[in-house]
Amino acid sequence: MNDTGLVWRNNLVGKCRTLGGNAFRRRVILHYHLFKNAGSSVDHVLASNFGGRWQVLEGTHSWSVVKADDVAAYIRHHKRVLAVSSHHFRLPLPVMPEADLYPIFFLRHPIDRIASVHQFGKRSGIGLTESSRNAVRGSLRDYVAWMLADKGNEGNNIRNAQTLFLSSKLSAWTDPSLPLRADDALLEEAQGFLRTLPVFGLVEKFDESARRFGAWLAHAFPGINFFPTQRNTRPERHQSLEERLAAIETELGQSLYQELQAANHHDLELYRFASNHFEGQGKS
């Protein structure tokens, strides 16, 4: 830990591949790792390409915030780093006149993501409180019912989490006791931010996303191989999104499933927008 309260996972050991950059201008990939959005797969790609020149920068709590100025300071301090990942990066993007930054974002169907959050939590026992840890150990139905009933911020991980993640509002949220909810203005901001990205990924189209990221990054990082991979996935899960959503609805029951959809109205709208924009980028 350093004097900012951030944890720097030091991977600067061993042999590193020399990719990207030049003697005059930095080029750095920033992976905005939203929980259960293929982040482990992206980190595996970055680690495979950059070795010790890929780093992880996290806060000390699950609600920690790594702001743009923190990221810029970290990059300036670690001059050999070519890629940095964090669950706690928050918008807006850093502004560094001396460096070109290449952000990586992935989105996912919100209901499918929630089932994945539950499965991961059930294996790991993750949760902010003892009550939430008890809830995640139960069935998906028990977990969703408990999280939706939560009046604080524990349930934010299954309520419009991606809309919040793609908004600047999350950068100012450092007190978990304060309410944080998505609204139409944040949805519009998130959609506007997606429009500014040359490339973004969809978990459901990871292979195509990987191809696009590879092509985009190749000019800055010659030799990079952004290969398709799957990490932290369950072998028994249904192959198609439609099958997974149908199985989730069956497990939750129609009433709770509809409640979950309503609680993720903005994320569902964001996902529809992102899917259409992803297809449009593919045709341009």
pLDDT digits (tens, 9 = 90+) for 93-114: 999 999 999 999 999 999 999 9
| Cross-strand pairs, 107 | 202
User: pTM above the 0.85 mark?
Assistant: yes
Instruction: Indicate the burial class of 114 (C-beta count within 10 angstroms; 0-12, 13-18, 19 or more).
Output: buried
Choose among 57, 47, 41, 56: nearest CA to 16. Answer: 47
pLDDT mean over 184-205 = 97
| Cross-strand pairs, 211 | none
pLDDT mean over 123-136 = 65
Query: Domain boundaries in the chain?
Result: 7-107+199-217, 110-189+234-283
**Which CA distances in Å does 58 have to 6, 26, 81, 196?**
6, 22, 15, 25
| Beta-carbon-side half-sphere exposure of residue 205 (alpha carbons within 13 Å) | 17
Any residues with CB less than 8 A from the CB of 133 and at least 6 apart, and which?
121, 125, 126, 127
Determine how many CB atoms are found less than 10 A away from the CB of residue 51. Answer: 18
Condensed to tens digits (0 to 9), the pLDDT of residues 160-193 reads 999 999 998 888 776 777 778 899 999 999 999 9
Comparison of pLDDT for 40 and 232, the residue scoring more: 40
**Whether the predicted pLDDT of 127 surpasses 80:** no
